[in-house]
Amino acid sequence: MEKEFELLPNPDAFNVNKRYYTKEALENSIEEYKQRITEGKALVMMGSPSEGNEFSVDLNKVVGQVTDIEFKDGKYMSTIKFDRPTKKVSQILDGRGSFVVGLNQVGHIDANNEVSDLRIVSASIIYDPRLQVDPFEDLAYFIEQFKQRPQDHRIRNQLITLIDAIYTKAKVEHEQEKN
């Protein structure tokens, strides 16, 4: 069974980890990763594989593989083919919960938190981290950054994104309360 998920990190934006990923940097790493997809070596794990910032593929957590990645409506979408039916996978396929595919990558981070020289190590299905972080904390952080660098359009765009995230989180919480 296959299902499409939003792919994180998002291009041309500060992400939950407060790092900025340019579309170009992501495109380059995804193009390289697509070779692994065509070879059938783009495994997807359940949950985050990073422990102490060391990424590895835990074969016990593998639930399928990435079969496609494409850019749609300003973000990357990934198609996952599930090989191992588990209770958690069934819940995800039934649409219970807000899950995304996170790319576990290594790269260079400069002083402005911009990421370059990305290399994708693996992919994981994770509960959307944007819903786990209090967007008001991020909002305070980026307001402070904007005060220091008002000319930086990336920070201005991030403030708009955070306001949207606050709305999305409230909407998801309201839907969960209804169910």
Q: Which domain holds residue 89?
A: 2-132
Q: Are residues 108 and 151 in the same domain?
A: no
Q: Within a 10 A sphere around the Cβ of 126, how many other Cβ atoms?
A: 19
Residue 92 pLDDT greater than 80, yes or no: no
Q: Are residues 66 and 148 in the same domain?
A: no
pLDDT tier, 30 (very low <50, low <70, confident <90, very high otherwise): very high
Last residue of a domain, one of 116, 132, 148: 132
Average pLDDT over residues 20-48: 90
Strand 20-21 and strand 114-127: pairing?
parallel
pLDDT of residue 68: 95
Q: Are residues 125 and 171 in the same domain?
A: no
Q: Are residues 64 and 13 in the same domain?
A: yes
Percent of the chain exceeding pLDDT 90 equals 24
Q: Say how far apart CA 122 and CA 42 lie, in whole Å.
A: 7
Write out the H or E segment, with its range, that includes residue 112.
none
Nearest to 99 by CA among 46, 53, 42, 40: 46
Span 98-111, pLDDT tens digits: 888 988 888 899 98
Vertex 69 angle, CA 45 and 102, to 5°: 35
Q: Are residues 34 and 55 in the same domain?
A: yes
Residue 66 pLDDT greater than 90, yes or no: yes
pLDDT tier, 96 (very low <50, low <70, confident <90, very high otherwise): low
Structural domains of the chain, count: 2
Average pLDDT over residues 7-24: 87
Q: Are residues 99 and 30 in the same domain?
A: yes
Residue 39 pLDDT greater than 90, yes or no: yes
Span 114-125, pLDDT tens digits: 999 999 888 888
Per the model's pLDDT, the better-predicted residue between 90 and 117 turns out to be: 117
Last residue of a domain, one of 95, 116, 132: 132
pTM above 0.85, yes or no: no
Q: Are residues 21 and 94 in the same domain?
A: yes
Q: Within a 10 A sphere around the Cβ of 100, how many other Cβ atoms?
A: 18
Q: Say how far apart CA 48 and CA 129 lie, in whole Å.
A: 11
Percent of the chain exceeding pLDDT 70 equals 92
pLDDT of residue 155: 85
pLDDT of residue 27: 93
85: cis peptide before it, omega within 30°?
no
9: cis peptide before it, omega within 30°?
yes
Span 41-61, pLDDT tens digits: 898 888 765 554 455 566 777
Q: Within a 10 A sphere around the Cβ of 62, how many other Cβ atoms?
A: 16
Q: Are residues 9 and 95 in the same domain?
A: yes
Q: Are residues 145 and 122 in the same domain?
A: no
Q: Are residues 92 and 177 in the same domain?
A: no
Q: Are residues 51 and 91 in the same domain?
A: yes
Q: Are residues 123 and 144 in the same domain?
A: no
